[in-house]
Structure 1
Amino acid sequence: MEVMAADVDYDVIQIGYGPVSKASALFLSRMGWKVGVFERWQEVYSLPRAVCIDHEIFRVLHAAGLGHIADSVTNDAPVYRWFNAEWKQLLAIDWAAGSISGGSEVNFVHQPSFEWAMDAEIKSRPGVDLNFNCEAVAISQTADRVTVTVRDTKSGATRKVTARYLLGIDGANSLVREQLGIGRTDLGFEADWLVIDFTLKDGLTARDLGIPECGQYCNPERPTTIVPGGIDNGRICRRWEFMRLPHETREEMLEEKKVWDLLSAWIKPDQGELVRHALYTFRSLVADKWQDGRIFLAGDAAHVMPPFMGQGMCAGLRDVWNLAWKLDRVMKGDADASLLETYEPERAPHATDVIKASIFLGSIICMPDAQKAAERDAAFLSSSAPPPPPFPILTKGLLEKDRDGNVVSPAGQLAPHGAVRYHGKTSRLDRVVLPGFNLFLSGAIKPSELTPAARSLCEAQGIEIVTVADRRLAGDDQIGDTQGQILTFMKERGLDAMLVRPDFYLFGGAAGASRVNAMLMEFDRQAQAHGFHPTRAMAISA
């Protein structure tokens, strides 16, 4: 069981202060932990990079008490359309459709606004100690702590700081990863793209410009991405991305004349403001190791992916949400440190599968060969092209398993979420049922049908038993499924019950009282293996 080292400076040290680190600091501080953040630069990076927050991360931010930020910096995504050179539609991904989380599949975000809002939130909280101009230069660890040597980049002075755990959230060129000697596996994708962010003149829209609201122009003469860039202080931002062709140099792509030549077919200088342009090498890399004792990698330090699914920042935020509830439980003494060893087995395969899906989409777009592009077009237009792969689920870790150790479906799937009615009020589910281990029953099984051992387990482990009913029939002690999200999900999978983890993934789901009781006993077996002690839910402060 984790025992606090009395003389450490922090509970957790984080190296880096990008969006994933900011979210992690807020997750942990709102759980009551002292976080020290060390960033080599002087201030928040002010230029846009990521443009997407998907439904899962939008939900996570709300559950973590950051819903006011998520609501203020995002807007629903339109349909994501892919066109060939003749503007024939090859593929349409309906991001505007409802998601399993009860809202839009994807939300577009202006990343600087998102980061500034989180930065302001962090600076209003006493539990986070921000240290700018502080570069980590050495890392060591013992059985009970991590020690980081940091150097003041202005004065050159060095000092040592200690914590119970260290998170390396310091980007693709992670010093933490390099210090630990951790290599990366290359999944084989590499392409240079010029990324251009542009703020539109007041009143202008994509429709006015005659451009797709959100799309890929899969023209072999110049593969091009055209997507929203969020909203900056009420001004609409747009992003263009242009693939560097084999005959072009990297230096040429960065020339301002080249930038305007590429933009000229889409927008004119008097229609807004060029915010920035940068050449990025899109790659596909996964760290070979995500945990070394008390040190963890997250975000771009752990994985780098092509942007074609808009999942780079989302994947990093999933990392720290997964890690936060486990660190919280271990540092409180409610679980053994072995629980933390489920982080890499859960997150690494999931992130790798997201990268592979992004590569699949990238292979459709990044096709400068006219003959291959024509073959691609024919396959899509005849509906014979393979569909995009389904979004990944968890395949390892703290999930229901059979006697042979195989994960039992639907364990690892993301649980549903939506609006619910409870005690005369309609609200988000995550405001009614706090993140924790929660057992949802459809009504086909009553709590009284659980065995005494199962009921005792739920009481001992603080598992909340929640009965979900049709909104028109729900009693006072039941949750009314206002959107039909929860009951539809369960019905489609033939479930009478599902045990949902603090990060909203299913530990398991079952039909029939005997299977539900067996699922709970399997949870008990794994909980005991990780030294679980009673706890109700993550205590997230206001």
Structure 2
Amino acid sequence: MKNRTGAPNHEVEIVIVGAGPVGLTLANYLGMRGVKVMVIEKLDQLIDYPRAIGIDDESLRTIQAIGLIDDVLPHTTPYHSMRFLTPKGRCFADIQPMTDEFGWSRRNAFIQPQVDAVLHSGLSRYSDVEVLFSRSVNGIEQDEDGVVVSVENEQKPGETESVRAKYLVACDGGNSYVRRSLDIGFYGKTAPNQWIVVDIAKDPLAIPNVYLCADPVRPYVSAALPHATRRFEFMVMPGETQEQLSQPENMKRLLSSVLPNPDNVELIRSRVYTHNARLAERFRDKRILLAGDAAHIMPVWQGQGYNSGMRDASNLAWKLALVVKGKASPHLLDTYEDERRDHAKAMIDLSVMAGHVLAPPRRWQGTLRDGISWLLNYVPPVKRYFLEMRFKPMPKYERGAQVEVSPKPKGPTPVGKMFIQPRVDTEHGEEMLLDDVIGCNFAFIAWGADPTWGLNEEQVRSWRELGTTFIQVVPSFQLKAPSDVSDGVIRIGDSQGRLKEWFGRFPASIAVLRPDRFVGAVAIPQTIGEVSDRYLSVLGVEAGDAIPSRENINLEVA
């Protein structure tokens, strides 16, 4: 990776506008797949002030996929509980999910700039990934073959460069220049009140977890962060300004409600935020795609703004890599909006609802909330609903880059849901997470059987050309028995019984996983051949020919 302050015109495969977490994650995945990428950032360096403070299991799984998880984990606090308090201090909602179905703690505290720095430094692994800081985009043109971006050097006014790419991904935030230049609507609401965020070093409380106090006078949040950092958030009341609240006497007044000694603190910074809930009219315009805050922004109350952007990156990266390398039809990119937009809206709605729980528009609503919550806390199913975070809408794609069994079976189907990630045993006696066995590839995972038995040679070749990993799962004890699988099939042991339990819930013994770990299809050995052909068609790939012969292939979308 090279950072340059002056450069001639460039030609790359993907240009990414914005060096935030979404753009950096995309660049890491694409660099890993050998895609030539340029990242354009208006600022002269990464943002260094804290922003997001919550990272979930899905985002950690994405970071694991790009090989940076060991560098990120030291900057996280796992199993981070979130507790809603009444003004008198009673906990009326306790969210402390202890599940790890995707391999990581479901809720984790972190400090965003530290993780962004890891994502940025990770790009140094790839000679075909380049980052240009101090560059503002001032023009975009696209044609049938690609996109041309006009860029102005912020450090040398009047000096412009042009970048040509096959596709552009806009990760340039809620005020996205790219989205506005395309005249794409950004619909939703802006909250009527603001909040001031105060970050303090040498945590003066040092109490773990996150507390949200629904005080009708002034609601506030107190959050423990890694490396002895404490965050407070206070609602800004009508007539107050950031300048007023930042004055020492007013800051002391704010902190005196949460600290016994507000004078003895080491302030990192304070900043006023407005909470928005907005969703882009569309996520794609020909060869330009929107991701992260450029596509959707949401209030902070469930910590899902950052994580929704990471889901965008995970969903889009593998599709872009296949398309620009000629291994899939460009129409595959249409499935990005099909899959991500509805879920982004669901997360916006959840975040808005959580904000109303913390700070109801009317005081009587808060009183009613406290009374009902006190009663419901004694109903075990309701208590589990909060403890296990079942209210969080998990991504479930109803259509997109997937195929359903025909006729569709009665009952639940795993297609369109994320696959679990337990620890598994290898034939070499190692224990590792499932994704580390798969790599950043498609995977055919079969319980007890050889996943290639129902495929012909052309089908196997097509999937191998896409980088597919074929895996047979058996109870760990059976790894000691002689192998009877085809060459190139990996055998793993299900030491915890979690894979057996997963397959036992559905009438299928083979799961076809996408590179983002979502289930694209399920089958049994007798039907996997037909399912394989249908799925290759969805990708725009014909069996025996992993490179589409024409760009106007129609996708068969579930």
TM-score class normalised by the smaller sequence: 0.7 to 0.9
- How many angstroms apart in 2 are the aligned matches of 1:220 and 1:196? 20
User: How many correspondences in the alignment?
Assistant: 514
Aligned partner of residue 345 in structure 1, secondary structure: helix
Aligned residue among 199, 202, 221 for 1:200: 202
Q: Which amino acid aligns with 1:337?
A: P
Structure 1 pair 356–402 and aligned structure 2 pair: CA distance change class (3 A)? farther
Alignment partner, residue 301 of structure 1: 294
1:392 matched to 2:395: yes
- How many angstroms apart in 2 are the aligned matches of 1:225 and 1:530? 54
Deviation per CA, 1:220-254, whole angstroms, max 9, x where unpaired? 222212222333xxxx1111111223464565444
Deviation per CA, 1:420-467, whole angstroms, max 9, x where unpaired? 110211112122112322122222x5547x5455x7534422243322
- How many angstroms apart in 2 are the aligned matches of 1:147 and 1:36? 12
Work out whether residues 220 and 368 of structure 1, in 8 Å CA contact, stay in contact via their aligned partners in 2.
no
Q: Which amino acid aligns with 1:327?
A: L
Work out whether residues 38 and 129 of structure 2, in 8 Å CA contact, stay in contact via their aligned partners in 1.
yes
1:237 matched to 2:229: yes
Aligned partner of residue 508 in structure 1, secondary structure: strand
User: Offset of 1:531 from its aligned partner?
Assistant: 9.5
Structure 1 pair 293–88 and aligned structure 2 pair: CA distance change class (3 A)? same
Work out whether residues 17 and 37 of structure 1, in 8 Å CA contact, stay in contact via their aligned partners in 2.
yes
TM-score using structure 1 length = 0.87
- How many angstroms apart in 1 are the aligned matches of 2:395 and 2:356? 19
Deviation per CA, 1:243-275, whole angstroms, max 9, x where unpaired? 223464565444443333211222334554111
Aligned residue among 20, 27, 37 for 1:18: 20
Structure 1 pair 436–245 and aligned structure 2 pair: CA distance change class (3 A)? same
1:416 matched to 2:420: yes
Task: Show the 5 A alignment for 1:108-127.
Answer: 108-123=109-124, 125-127=126-128
- How many angstroms apart in 1 are the aligned matches of 2:543 and 2:153? 41
TM-score using structure 2 length = 0.85
Aligned partner of residue 382 in structure 1, secondary structure: helix
Q: Which amino acid aligns with 2:59?
A: I
Alignment partner, residue 509 of structure 1: 522
Work out whether residues 221 and 234 of structure 2, in 8 Å CA contact, stay in contact via their aligned partners in 1.
yes
Work out whether residues 74 and 108 of structure 1, in 8 Å CA contact, stay in contact via their aligned partners in 2.
yes
- How many angstroms apart in 1 are the aligned matches of 2:275 and 2:289? 24
Structure 1 pair 220–151 and aligned structure 2 pair: CA distance change class (3 A)? same
Structure 1 pair 197–493 and aligned structure 2 pair: CA distance change class (3 A)? farther
Task: Show the 5 A alignment for 1:357-368.
Answer: 357-367=350-360
- How many angstroms apart in 2 are the aligned matches of 1:410 and 1:189? 37
Structure 1 pair 452–133 and aligned structure 2 pair: CA distance change class (3 A)? closer
Structure 1 pair 452–179 and aligned structure 2 pair: CA distance change class (3 A)? closer
Aligned residue among 428, 431, 445 for 1:426: 431
Structure 1 pair 501–125 and aligned structure 2 pair: CA distance change class (3 A)? closer
Alignment partner, residue 275 of structure 1: 268
Structure 1 pair 403–151 and aligned structure 2 pair: CA distance change class (3 A)? same
- How many angstroms apart in 2 are the aligned matches of 1:255 and 1:270? 13
Structure 1 pair 447–39 and aligned structure 2 pair: CA distance change class (3 A)? closer
- How many angstroms apart in 1 are the aligned matches of 2:501 and 2:105? 17
Aligned partner of residue 25 in structure 2, secondary structure: helix
Work out whether residues 444 and 451 of structure 2, in 8 Å CA contact, stay in contact via their aligned partners in 1.
no
Structure 1 stretch 249-258 or stretch 282-291: which is displaced more?
249-258
Alignment partner, residue 534 of structure 1: 546
Please, which runs of 5 or more residues in structure 1 have no aligned partner? 1-6, 536-542
User: Offset of 1:281 from its aligned partner?
Assistant: 0.7
Task: Show the 5 A alignment for 1:8-407.
Answer: 9-95=11-97, 97-123=98-124, 125-156=126-157, 157-186=159-188, 191-200=193-202, 206-207=206-207, 213-231=209-227, 236-246=228-238, 248-249=240-241, 252-267=244-259, 268-269=261-262, 271-367=264-360, 369-383=362-376, 388-401=391-404
Aligned partner of residue 376 in structure 1, secondary structure: helix
Q: Which amino acid aligns with 1:288?
A: E
- How many angstroms apart in 1 are the aligned matches of 2:41 and 2:163? 14
Work out whether residues 57 and 318 of structure 1, in 8 Å CA contact, stay in contact via their aligned partners in 2.
yes
Alignment partner, residue 478 of structure 1: 491
The share of aligned pairs that are identical, in percent, is: 28
User: Offset of 1:514 from its aligned partner?
Assistant: 4.9
Structure 1 stretch 293-302 or stretch 357-366: which is displaced more?
357-366
Structure 1 pair 228–485 and aligned structure 2 pair: CA distance change class (3 A)? farther
Structure 1 pair 168–281 and aligned structure 2 pair: CA distance change class (3 A)? same
User: Offset of 1:518 from its aligned partner?
Assistant: 5.3
- How many angstroms apart in 1 are the aligned matches of 2:121 and 2:67? 14
User: Offset of 1:316 from its aligned partner?
Assistant: 1.1
User: Offset of 1:301 from its aligned partner?
Assistant: 0.6
- How many angstroms apart in 2 are the aligned matches of 1:392 and 1:290? 17
Work out whether residues 459 and 543 of structure 2, in 8 Å CA contact, stay in contact via their aligned partners in 1.
no
Alignment partner, residue 538 of structure 1: none
- How many angstroms apart in 1 are the aligned matches of 2:322 and 2:182? 26
Work out whether residues 441 and 498 of structure 1, in 8 Å CA contact, stay in contact via their aligned partners in 2.
yes
Structure 1 pair 515–382 and aligned structure 2 pair: CA distance change class (3 A)? farther
Aligned partner of residue 391 in structure 1, secondary structure: coil
User: Offset of 1:363 from its aligned partner?
Assistant: 1.7
Alignment partner, residue 4 of structure 1: none
Aligned partner of residue 420 in structure 2, secondary structure: coil
Structure 1 stretch 251-260 or stretch 336-345: which is displaced more?
251-260
- How many angstroms apart in 1 are the aligned matches of 2:170 and 2:409? 32
Structure 1 stretch 525-534 or stretch 353-362: which is displaced more?
525-534
Q: Which amino acid aligns with 2:32?
A: R
Q: Which amino acid aligns with 1:93?
A: I
Work out whether residues 353 and 392 of structure 1, in 8 Å CA contact, stay in contact via their aligned partners in 2.
no
Work out whether residues 225 and 241 of structure 1, in 8 Å CA contact, stay in contact via their aligned partners in 2.
yes
Please, which runs of 5 or more residues in structure 2 have no aligned partner? 1-8, 484-489, 548-558
Structure 1 stretch 137-146 or stretch 33-42: which is displaced more?
33-42
